[in-house]
Copies of this chain bind each other. A is one copy, B any other.
């Protein structure tokens, strides 16, 4: 049971570290934290409805409505309605939004490289596999 305690401690440090890193990245950009999170999700999904976005971000749809409002005001994203289900809004990034996504995503890639640089090649592969398993089976 001791190793679970230790692992919990390192996981919390890991999340705090990541969160601190992201705060400082965002502070020196023209994005807010929630905008950056939304961009990260939208940038990997082409088109997405509000509910899907909310679920990925772990917030309510009321919250994503506000976030997407702001992204639209900045011309980073736009809502598209569909014929199949007229209640649904599909969100897509604009060219400007994609540019912002790529820029922010670049920072993430760089952080990942820093993490990878303290691991050997085997460890990197193992780390990836463990994360995949945890993401698929726990979250």
Residues of A within 8 A of B (CB): 3-21, 23-24, 37, 40-41, 44, 55-59, 105, 108-109, 111-116, 118-119, 123-128, 130-135, 137-139
Contact = CB atoms under 8 A, between A and B. Distances in A.
Give the copy number: 2
A63 to B, nearest CB: 10
Main secondary structure of the interface of A (DSSP, over half): helix
A49 to B, nearest CB: 17
25 contacts: A4-B109, A8-B105, A9-B44, A10-B128, A11-B108, A11-B115, A11-B131, A13-B131, A13-B139, A16-B57, A16-B139, A17-B138, A17-B139, A18-B139, A20-B55, A20-B57, A20-B58, A21-B139, A24-B58, A115-B134, A115-B138, A118-B133, A118-B137, A118-B138, A123-B126
A60 to B, nearest CB: 10
B58 A3 contact: no
Contacts of A18: 11, 15, 139
A48 to B, nearest CB: 14
Contact of A135 (B10, B123, B132): B10
A69 to B, nearest CB: 21
